[in-house]
Structure 1
């Protein structure tokens, strides 16, 4: 896939969605995208991201589900609220928007990385219609060490040089296999990362997930990656910490990094279908 095809793939999927705007503070709005029909599932993206963090998962889910994917306040197409500082200040806006777009429908909630922390905070509010919580590569377990050093985009104007910076940063933090840092991954990062306006996020550095899990009333599931740069050399500690969350099932995927739902999309789609109680279809059974 070249850069033009990557752009067309993003635009194709975006064009298939319907969009709704909900309030996230005075004069601020957040954008929600919807695909498919059926029981509702809400996908919450990670830091430096947007709805496109789920670009290789949406169509699989939308065969049997109504898929909602917001841009969190301060990310993507959504406005930055005046108090948009961290997951705990964003979560009430996301929950309020969710209640509006779902209009009383029951739902499952899937959160990736920073979005997993937002989702965990929402689940701690015990929404009456929340059926399941799925955490993907979530932090907030008190384990994060020094993050990988990323290259700055400041002053980089040449498109090819910019693409190489995004390629380098994706390899350092998001994807473990350099071959998976393809044109689509770079296009997603190039469209999403510069629009991350929620800076100095600190809750991910704490063990807040261990406290929040005591408040969840729905079944919860978790999936992490063995090669995640955030947990390099700490898989045993990660398993132990995840064991304190009371999860119904925990999965550690091999041969993948932090953005596992992109890098191992087929395997992830199959796993998520099982977590959500969906029958596996030929389209989301991993090819061996």
Structure 2
């Protein structure tokens, strides 16, 4: 099997063709990383969301590499091709494995972390535990802020359904309920990525997303903190201005905030061009 999913369209197959696969080790568990770009370049690490894998970032990797970054994208422990470490049941068990992995990959220059959703929580906890590992943090649609929306996001179960067609119908529903804003964004690629990813989620009982764990962590961080959120992020409907003000107050070294118009939670996929422009503007030279 190749390093890239067969269902990627030709333009992404071409854009991501230079991928290298690395396996790092910590406490008997393997973490799989995907890497693009020259080893002597500054490093940006992209952390995917819950029930995801590195493929949450398929529309963002090539522009970052083109801008001169070495791009490292792990499958977080318990997701994708990475092992679920013994005793690891939530986000607080991940930083030690990512820290060990980054050290084994030997970044040559400055490092920036970009974390989407669950990966944003992971990145914040990582830099609280290992502040020397990165100098910049960009949170993308991150939960763990202690904010709640009035209506529960109506996600449906799918594992019990007997046919792929029935499961795909639920995947479409869940993508529109949580991840995407516009029906046009739910294309064949989004469905294929999501279907492949959720089948490999081995950490199903995550609970810390509904707490204020990131809000409690941000004041402790020495890294420069910025944020990108989709205008219609389902986790914060009607509350983004409130969240922006709170994050700026919590962060000791605040950078920039950017709201991407018209986009939902999976903003880097749904509005990739606008997101990539915003991210590159936030990843200022160190």
Q: Deviations over 1:130-162 (max 9, x none)?
A: 221111001111013454122222243434333
Q: Name the CA distance, whole Å, in 2 between partners of 1:215 and 1:254.
A: 30
- 1:144 corresponds, among 134, 144, 148, to 148
Of 15-24 and 158-167, the range deviating more from structure 2: 158-167
Q: Name the CA distance, whole Å, in 2 between partners of 1:274 and 1:10.
A: 23
Deviation at 1:10, TM superposition (A): 6.7
1:160 equivalent in alignment to 2:162 = no
Match of 1:22 in 2: 24
- 1:261 corresponds, among 237, 252, 268, to 268
Deviation at 1:12, TM superposition (A): 5.8
Match of 2:216 in 1: 211
1:106 equivalent in alignment to 2:110 = yes
- Check the 8 A contact 2:131/2:223 in 1, yes or no: no
In the superposition, relative to structure 1, how do residues 159 and 74 fare at CA in structure 2: closer, same or farther (>3 Å)?
A: same
1:50 equivalent in alignment to 2:56 = no
In the superposition, relative to structure 1, how do residues 179 and 144 fare at CA in structure 2: closer, same or farther (>3 Å)?
A: same
- Check the 8 A contact 1:41/1:68 in 2, yes or no: yes
Deviation at 1:9, TM superposition (A): 6.5
Match of 2:99 in 1: 95
Deviation at 1:163, TM superposition (A): 2.7
Deviation at 1:211, TM superposition (A): 2.0
- Is there any run of 5+ residues in structure 2 with no aligned partner, and where? none
- Check the 8 A contact 1:242/1:250 in 2, yes or no: no
Q: Deviations over 1:233-268 (max 9, x none)?
A: 323332332232322211222211000000110011
Q: Name the CA distance, whole Å, in 2 between partners of 1:109 and 1:132.
A: 6
Q: Which TM-score applies when normalising by structure 1?
A: 0.88
In the superposition, relative to structure 1, how do residues 25 and 129 fare at CA in structure 2: closer, same or farther (>3 Å)?
A: closer
Q: Name the CA distance, whole Å, in 1 between partners of 2:249 and 2:213.
A: 12
Q: Secondary structure at the match of 2:169?
A: helix
Deviation at 1:7, TM superposition (A): 6.4
Q: Name the CA distance, whole Å, in 2 between partners of 1:220 and 1:234.
A: 19
Q: Name the CA distance, whole Å, in 2 between partners of 1:239 and 1:249.
A: 10
1:61 equivalent in alignment to 2:97 = no
After superposition, the CA RMSD in angstroms is 2.2
Q: Which TM-score applies when normalising by structure 2?
A: 0.88
In the superposition, relative to structure 1, how do residues 147 and 70 fare at CA in structure 2: closer, same or farther (>3 Å)?
A: farther
Match of 1:182 in 2: 187
- Is there any run of 5+ residues in structure 1 with no aligned partner, and where? 279-288
Deviation at 1:198, TM superposition (A): 1.1
Deviation at 1:213, TM superposition (A): 1.3
1:77 equivalent in alignment to 2:81 = yes
Q: Secondary structure at the match of 1:128?
A: helix
Match of 2:32 in 1: 31
- Check the 8 A contact 2:49/2:119 in 1, yes or no: yes
Match of 1:123 in 2: 127
Q: Deviations over 1:36-83 (max 9, x none)?
A: 222111000010100001010011111121100000000000011112
Match of 1:286 in 2: none
- Check the 8 A contact 2:131/2:221 in 1, yes or no: no
Of 67-76 and 156-165, the range deviating more from structure 2: 156-165
Q: Name the CA distance, whole Å, in 1 between partners of 2:158 and 2:62.
A: 31
Q: Name the CA distance, whole Å, in 1 between partners of 2:164 and 2:6.
A: 13
- Check the 8 A contact 2:255/2:282 in 1, yes or no: no
